[in-house]
Amino acid sequence: MGTNKKNQIINYLLMAFCLIAFLIVLRPAFRSEKISERSFEDLFAKTMENISMDPYPAQGTQSLRRYFELEPSDFEQIAFYRLDDAMSADELLLARFSTPEAARKFEQAVQARIQSQTDIYAGYAPEQEQTMKQAHIEVEGNYALYVSGAQAAQIAEQFEK
């Protein structure tokens, strides 16, 4: 096989590799998000099926602003649940949104909250610190969930279904 033929094969392989890498990088931009038509109330009910709400009493919009610095008007619907006990790391936040910007705001606010709470609990409340480290953030189509606590894995699983 001649040098020209080897170079040609190498060039084709390199181009194929570049094309595959390019498609992998751009895939999220062309991915179609599944938009759920399910009502917020129905999704919440299915997500919380067989889950004790004791660690998750409803909070008002002031708590949402205080803990997450989120503005409820940025979302179609949003609900926040947690005990008023500072030593409880159990939290639940469910949101429905219509723009990618709202999804980004949600994720950024939740990441900041998890980091803040993890830092606060570090050193004096190892159980709560571990709870925050095991928190779940799920964004699916036009819904997002953040949950921490003993039931977090089950809640996140039911949300995904």
Q: Are 94 and 144 within 8 A, CB to CB?
A: yes
User: How large is the average pLDDT for residues 47-65?
Assistant: 94
pLDDT tens digits, 61-96: 999 999 999 999 999 999 999 998 888 999 999 999
Q: Can you give the pLDDT at residue 38?
A: 85
Q: Quick one: 71 and 20 in the same domain? A: no
- Cα–Cα dist 84/111, whole Å: 21
In total, how many domains does the chain have? 2
Q: How far apart are CA 76 and CA 123, in angstroms?
A: 38
Tell me how far apart the alpha carbons of residues 135 and 149 are, in angstroms, rounded to a whole number: 7
Looking at residue 1, its pLDDT comes to: 57
Pair (4, 49) in one structural domain: no
Asked if 18 and 74 sit in the same domain, the reply is no
**pLDDT one-digit tens code per residue, 140-156:** 999 999 999 999 999 99
Question: What's the domain range around 62?
Answer: 40-160
Q: How many whole angstroms separate alpha carbon 131 and alpha carbon 146?
A: 13
Size (the chain), residues: 161
- Assign 4 a pLDDT band (cuts: 50, 70, 90): confident
Do residue 78 and residue 143 come from a single domain? yes
Do 58 and 7 share a structural domain?
Answer: no
Q: Specify whether 94 is located in the same domain as 16.
A: no
d(CA 129, CA 28) in angstroms, rounded, equals 32
pLDDT band at 13 (very low <50, low <70, confident <90, very high): low
47 and 26 inside one domain: no
- In this structure, what DSSP letter does residue 151 have? T
Where are the alpha helices (H) located in the chain, listed in sequence order?
3-30, 40-47, 61-68, 100-121, 126-133, 152-160
Same domain, 15 and 72: no
**97 shares a domain with 20:** no
Instruction: Tell me the pLDDT band of 24, cut-offs 50, 70 and 90.
Output: low
Token pair, residue 56, equals 């998750």
- pLDDT of 125: 93
Q: Are 20 and 44 in the same domain?
A: no
Q: pLDDT at position 33, please? A: 56
133 in Cβ contact with 83 (< 8 Å): no
